[in-house]
Structure 1
Amino acid sequence: MKRFEYLSVRVMVLLAAALCIHLFLIAGLLFLAFLGNAPFWPAILSLVLLVVLLWWFYAMILKPYLHMERTMRLFLDGYTTADLTHLCQTAPTPMVYQMLAHMMKIMDSSELLKLNKRQAQYLALQNQINPHFLYNTLESIRSEALIAGLTGVADMTEALAAFFRYTISKVENLVSVEEELENCQTYFRIQQYRFGSRLSLTIECDPEEREEIYGCRLPKLTMQPILENSIIHGTECKIGTGHLTIHLERSGKRLLIRISDDGVGMDEEVLSRMNERLGRSGQAFASQGSETRGGIALVNVNNRIHLLFGEEYGLHVFSMPGVGTDVEINLPAIANDRELKNKEALK
């Protein structure tokens, strides 16, 4: 049978056979004791020994093995930044220990972060060509528009230059929530020239917590790609006006940001696939070629959050067809870059 190709199956079969033989011997000893041909104590001692051996096998072998299996299953599902240290503590052989130690070194989150930063920089390079040339050209267009009295064109050009300057420069840095919101408002201002009064944006934040929330740090380009998705895949496809909301709040040591739209929404199957991709963000490097919605993929944003802060943070999407979509961003509420979990991000 194909199952017998696995060493674990062979060991379990051998163990089951040994258990059956031991139980057969105990039954034989008990039978002889009941007939009066032998004392009871050998059977009782064998039974106690069997219980002790089974307990030892469960505690020292089976339980660590099952724990290792669960962790490896998570790893295969894409949780590449999970702590695999305990796997080395329960490795079946010295060679497997060396293999796991090498794997941990390869899959170290700081190394993944460097790859992710290079990917983000590459995406930016694709768009920038020569940033100074771009800024100078946009400034020239703005000047010509002002001279011609085209204030609308001048304002739009100014907003576009500000947006590109923020997007292209130092994409690996953390920024304040206030800076990220300003970039979102700049992007929305550009979109308003296209949609006019069809589109509106509201930013909600408790005034008493505003200063503290606006000072929190988060990865650059966390909100804007989601806002872009909300416009392109939500409100743009809707007949009539569309409203977007960015809601910010603190919950203990967490910063919760919810970007909502009242657009067309998505059905249960599409929503499930979206959240599955976000849940398996450790595999984002393999799929970034197809995930380009919003300029920088949601899965890439989610993956950077995982690598910087841990897999307990990230994105989750809620949606109903015809009602709209909410994207919730879960982040640690940190006000200083020194509080960053993975300090390799700042090197």
Structure 2
Amino acid sequence: MARRTYYLETRVVLLVLSLTILIILTLMLALLYRQDRITSPLFLLLIVSATLIVGFVSYYTLYLPYGRTKHIMQLFASGYTFHAIVDDKIPLNKEMVDLNKTLETLLNTDQIMNASKRQAQFLALQNQINPHFLYNTLEGIRSEALLAGLDSVATMTEALSTFFRYTISNVENLVSLQQELENTKNYFFIQQFRFGNRIKLHISFEGEQEHEVLQYRIPKLTLQPIVENCIVHGLECKVGVGNLYIRVETSESRLFITVRDDGVGMQEDVLQQMQKKLSTRSFDYVKRDEHQGGIALVNVNNRIKLLFGEQYGLTVTSCVGVGTDVAISLPRSKGEEPPA
């Protein structure tokens, strides 16, 4: 019986049993007192003392552990922790302990990463159908455009082919910062065919030597979705020329990339909603978001946290009429795999 008192469930049963015995004892003593078999009212003091003891024990053995478990569940439900849903010290019952172990197994980071990678590979295969057919078709269009003297069409087709090749081929976790920046510049170049000189891109490096910084590894398709978000929601609606700034900085252990636009900015309620999404974890990163071309800011943030840890990710600040800043925090790493 001593082992089962470890669970809150058993403690509740013991509390109910104790209260039942206390009530029966109270009724028996009251009956004896009315029949003058007990002349001293001291039994009332005994009943009050026993009630206080039961209440005191219940507070520390039931109420406080239940409060801790409730708090853990609230954190889990809001996405602030994925470690457990019950208090390890005093769980509700044995079934909850088993459920918690199963949940920890399902939420194992390595398993999630493998599932995420398989999902990405599936989407890539689903989207590309036959990549060589797509590339050959674009190359054919480019050749015809060159023969017809349509140099701008040929250039845009080549840029589009390069973008697709990078996006849907060789699915992997990490690429060099140089590869990400080249893909981002290529995407921006394609957008300039639509916007012309209305949008401009500026890239700067601070601190460490540029050629060294370019070798650091970051998650594939980190920058392009953020740049796309800045153009679509920030610069497209702006009157006049819009500027997009990418600033790369380093510290002893981190790589900081800030993507800033001087567009229309976000309303306060929209900004708060975005910050809330970025501050909590979800599994939406394995889902395809049609409104953001399959990869949104929240998905990028979740992938970074999944690869490197909760201390890394995205933060967004914005001011209406001034623009939006997206700050990316990453570990400094040149390895093929995420640092442990």
- TM-score > 0.5, shorter chain as reference: yes
| Alignment gaps of 5+ in structure 2 | 1-7, 23-48
Q: Residue 40 of structure 1 aligns with which residue?
A: none
| TM-superposed deviation, 1:253 | 1.4
Residues 283-304 of structure 1, C-alpha deviations (whole Å, 9 max, x = no match): 4259x46563254122221111
In structure 2, distance between residues paired with 1:331 and 1:109: 18
Q: Residue 261 of structure 2 aligns with which residue?
A: 261
| TM-superposed deviation, 1:71 | 3.2
Please report the TM-score for the alignment, with normalisation by the length of structure 2: 0.77
Q: Residue 335 of structure 2 aligns with which residue?
A: 336
Give 1:132's aligned amino acid. Answer: H
Q: Residue 25 of structure 1 aligns with which residue?
A: none
Q: CA RMSD in A?
A: 3.4
Distance 1:67 1:331, change over 3 A: farther
Task: Tell whether 2:141 aligns with 1:141.
Answer: yes
Kept in 2, the 8 Å contact 1:88–1:100? The answer is no
| Alignment gaps of 5+ in structure 1 | 1-6, 22-45, 342-347
Kept in 1, the 8 Å contact 2:72–2:85? The answer is no
In structure 1, distance between residues paired with 2:290 and 2:129: 22
Q: Following superposition of structure 1 onto structure 2, how do residues 168-183 of structure 1 map, counting pairs within 5 Å?
A: 168-183=168-183
| TM-superposed deviation, 1:68 | 4.4
Larger Rg: 2
Q: Residue 304 of structure 2 aligns with which residue?
A: 305
Residues 1-58 of structure 1, C-alpha deviations (whole Å, 9 max, x = no match): xxxxxx78x95xx69x99xx9xxxxxxxxxxxxxxxxxxxxxxxx9xxx8xx98xx86
Residues 142-164 of structure 1, C-alpha deviations (whole Å, 9 max, x = no match): 12222222221121111111111
Q: Residue 321 of structure 1 aligns with which residue?
A: 320
Q: Residue 284 of structure 2 aligns with which residue?
A: 284
Q: Residue 77 of structure 2 aligns with which residue?
A: 76
In structure 2, distance between residues paired with 1:317 and 1:332: 19
In structure 2, distance between residues paired with 1:192 and 1:67: 55
SS in 2 for 1:264: coil
Task: Tell whether 2:274 aligns with 1:274.
Answer: yes
Q: Residue 102 of structure 2 aligns with which residue?
A: 102
SS in 2 for 1:200: strand
In structure 2, distance between residues paired with 1:133 and 1:266: 41
Give 2:74's aligned amino acid. Answer: R
Q: Following superposition of structure 1 onto structure 2, how do residues 239-258 of structure 1 map, counting pairs within 5 Å?
A: 239-258=239-258
In structure 2, distance between residues paired with 1:305 and 1:277: 14
In structure 1, distance between residues paired with 2:276 and 2:177: 27
Residues 155-188 of structure 1, C-alpha deviations (whole Å, 9 max, x = no match): 1111111111000012333101111001001111
**Corresponding residue pairs, total:** 303
SS in 2 for 1:340: coil
Identity, in percent, stands at 51
Q: Following superposition of structure 1 onto structure 2, how do residues 18-167 of structure 1 map, counting pairs within 5 Å?
A: 66-79=67-80, 82-84=82-84, 87-88=87-88, 90-167=90-167
In structure 2, distance between residues paired with 1:146 and 1:181: 28
| TM-superposed deviation, 1:89 | 5.0
In structure 2, distance between residues paired with 1:116 and 1:92: 32
Residues 97-138 of structure 1, C-alpha deviations (whole Å, 9 max, x = no match): 222111111122222223333443344345323210011111
In structure 1, distance between residues paired with 2:104 and 2:116: 18
Residues 256-284 of structure 1, C-alpha deviations (whole Å, 9 max, x = no match): 11111111111010111112222233242
SS in 2 for 1:322: coil
Kept in 2, the 8 Å contact 1:198–1:242? The answer is yes
Q: Which has the higher contact order (CA 8 A, sep 6+)?
A: 1
Distance 1:172 1:86, change over 3 A: farther
Kept in 1, the 8 Å contact 2:69–2:87? The answer is yes
